[in-house]
Amino acid sequence: MTHKNLLVELFVEELPPKALKKLGDAFAAVLADQLKAQGLAAADSQVTPFASPRRLAAHVTAVAARAADKAVSQKLMPVSVGLDASGAPTPALLKRLAGLGADASAVAGLKRAPDGKGEALFFDSVQPGVDLSAGLQKALDEAIAKLPIPKVMSYQLETDCELPGWTSVHFVRPAHGLVALHGADVVPVKALGLKAGNATHGHRFEAAVDPVVLADADAYAATLAKDGAVIASFTERKAEIARQLAAAAAQVGGGCKPIEDDALLDEVTALVERPNVLTCQFESEFLGVPQECLILTMKANQKYFPLLDATGKLTNRFLVVSNISPADASAVIGGNERVVRPRLADAKFFFDQDRKKTLESRVPGLAKVVYHNKLGTQGERMERVCAIAETVGLQLGGADLAARSLLAARLAKTDLVTDMVGEFPELQGIMGGYYARHDGLGEDIAFAIEDHYKPRFAGDELPRTMTGVVVALADKLETLVGMFGIGNLPTGDKDPFALRRHALGVIRMLVEKDLPLQLSALLAAAVPAFGDKITDATPALADFMYDRLAGGLREQGASAQEVDAVLALRPQRLADVAQRLQAVRAFAALPEAPALAAANKRIGNILKKSEGEGAAVNPALFVEAAEKDLYAAMQATVPAANTKFEAGDHTGSLQALAALRAAVDAFFDGVMVNADDPALKANRLGLLRELHQAMNRVADLSRLAT
């Protein structure tokens, strides 16, 4: 059977840049999967995606011209239904065979095989393999249908039949060409009103020839690069841009480097077919504006790469990724410099205007900004954050920290009503920090305002100061308690108020800052700030927090069993959780652990069934030697374990309890807990309750039982 490499390309108008990589990967993956599913491509066939602003393509190795025939065994019906008492075929069987293209002559060749409690008839046949033209047509249709298109366009295409006319086509962008090559042979497939051929188009302005004719599937990338001036591979084009950016920065000197932004690099890669990095500059006077503003306007509006010096400070140089390579690039450089200048001037104007008003003078303006129809304005929200911040500040640092936190919380949202943040919402908090310094409020307040949104995402840094930690906690607690209080909870993948992220932010601050705060008390302390606007949903919120904590711990490598054992006790001081996990892991490695975990589970079940029963332990009521020995072992072991627990030595506490194994085993071997004598039963239940409490201070050890 003939195997050759296959190349399929859709040539289209400029594709949406932020979606290009995903579109290219999806097109190639679905096309290859469909070919493999039909037996046209081998399981180990290699697929290479290509994606440029004007094309989606895929190269698949070892594709057959026709799939191999496949033996198929089809279940027809139970023997009792298909054959009568004499063994002759029933009408039902003959009808089923006719539907499969067979007649009564096939009855003798039917196989019998067990099926459930009886036997069934099976029809063996050979399914002809699909040829490439039909199989590729199906695969291409499927690949197009499953493209993750952000928004579909509708356009008219002139029909290619004898009667003139137009047909409507729906695709992400108008398509103008289709290539399908199996080796050097064109595969006669159609898509989006186009017939496949062996020619495509290169760069709009710099292609050496047009159209670009492809000799065979394997010549695609090289021919496009040579004749079309196009780097077809998204990955190779991205690497080339990164190489040129680094080289241009090195040529500027002074340890300069382009800003690192993979999303921007992906977007620029999706905008050019033949990258050419050029160095531009702007007037140094603009460097008086906060660099975050300048960087954002260059990245977001112009797709430029600002250059930072060796200390990370913005320079007045920036890099442009051009899609053309003229002999004299001065016109391109000058054009980009002229374009960026008004943008930077706008940023400078906003910055200068904003500083004419203090943050304090902007506080009343928050009352005009709606936060949520059930929770009021940003002004009302600010008052709640202030109340929570003051409460938390008092707990963590007394009146001084509370006062600083209250001031920072009062001003933290005021930059929302500034011109700069109105133009660039991404700068909220950051601009507040700059304006606080301008108002003479000091670094602590400025840092707290700047940091109160942190952590903004997984892996983001935490607030730098304790004032910032308090305000960040208060801000996130206000959101969590408020949204849960009005029943606005995350559902599935929808979380418009980022409650999962806020919960993880609170958890990280409690854990990584080792804060001596009790989770339930912390949540409850935020409720009074809302008055009658919400109902108290802190129990459900606490469950939500522990679920987020459990997920985070599992992602960090802890086993689900270990996490379950620790969090089953709902430890209130989250900073202790890591030590508890370490202790459980060390305990689980002990030879005594399986038996003690099983015994703990058994004790828990006994106590559940005997809820309300039991009494304080009276050693005088002991009858069996095993219960006396267990009580003595507990007297010798539990106090030391408790001392270690109170000192924070969770590992030592659990390891001390491991000495109880022999006594616990002997107790269950020789003692009947549910004795006929009520006093004896109550005493034994009391002994087990004390044992259960002693063993489960660090974690619920029964969760370790297999």
In angstroms, the CA 670 to CA 93 distance is 68
The answer on pLDDT for 68 being more than 70 is yes
Asked if 621 and 683 touch (Cβ cutoff 8 Å), the reply is yes
Cα distance between residue 563 and residue 552, in whole Å: 10
Domain layout of the chain by residue ranges: 3-67+131-227, 74-127, 234-354, 371-557, 577-704
pLDDT at site 114: 86
More confidently predicted of 496 and 80: 496
Q: What span, in angstroms and rounded, lies between the C-alpha atoms of 251 and 249?
A: 5
| pLDDT-based confidence at residue 80 (cuts at 50, 70, 90) | confident
pLDDT above 80 for 658: yes
How far apart CA 258 and CA 246 sit, in angstroms, is 7
Mean pLDDT value across residues 633-655: 92
pLDDT above 90: residue 609: no
429: DSSP letter: T
* 469 contacts 393 by C-beta, under 8 angstroms: no
pTM of the model: 0.80
Instruction: Report the share of the chain in percent with pLDDT over 90.
Output: 73
For 284-320, letters b (16+ CB in 10 Å) and e give eebeebbbbbbbbbbbeeeebbbbbeeeeebbbbbbb
The whole-angstrom separation of Cα 478 and Cα 468 is 15
Phi, psi of 561 (to 5 degrees): -65, -45
Measure the CA–CA gap between 700 and 692, rounded to whole angstroms.
9
Average pLDDT over residues 498-525: 96
Instruction: Name the residue with tokens 């087990």.
Output: 688
pLDDT attached to residue 524: 96
Find the helix packing angle between 430-438 and 330-354, rounded to 10°: 60
Residue 211 token pair = 């159209």
Mean pLDDT confidence for 73-97: 85
**pLDDT tens for residues 276-326?**
999 999 999 999 999 999 999 999 889 999 999 999 999 999 999 999 999
Cβ atoms of 50 and 57 within 8 Å: the answer is yes
pLDDT at 640: 92
Sheet with 118-127, side-by-side order of all strands: 70-78, 118-127, 111-115
pLDDT, position 234: 97
pLDDT at 636: 92
Cβ–Cβ < 8 Å for 324, 332: yes
Peptide bond into 211 cis (omega under 30): yes
Predicted pLDDT at 85: 82
CATH of 371-557 among 3.30.420, 3.20.20, 1.10.490, 1.10.3210: 1.10.3210
Give the tokens for residue 5: 């490499």
Q: Does domain 577-704 have CATH number 1.10.730?
A: yes
- Average pLDDT of the residues of the chain: 92
Cβ atoms of residues 631 and 617 within 8 Å: yes
Phi, psi of 4 (to 5 degrees): -135, 165
Average pLDDT score over residue span 73-78: 84
What was the pLDDT predicted at 396?
A: 96
CA distances from 69 to 102, 103, 188, 448 (A): 18, 22, 22, 70
Q: What is the pLDDT of residues 320-335, one digit of tens each?
A: 999 999 999 999 999 9
- Positive or negative: CA dihedral 491, 457, 344, 446: positive
Q: Backbone phi, then psi, for 55, in 5-degree steps?
A: -160, 150
Whole-Å CA distances, 560 to 566, 567, 574, 632, 703? 10, 10, 17, 35, 10
Asked if 32 contacts 195 with a C-beta cutoff of 8 angstroms, the reply is no
**Residue 488 to residues 200, 416, 448, Cα–Cα distance (Å):** 52, 24, 28
Residue where the block lists tokens 């974690």: 699
Residue 384 pLDDT:
98
Look at the block and give the residue holding tokens 């011109």: 419
Query: CA 251, CA 265: separation in Å to the nearest integer?
Result: 20
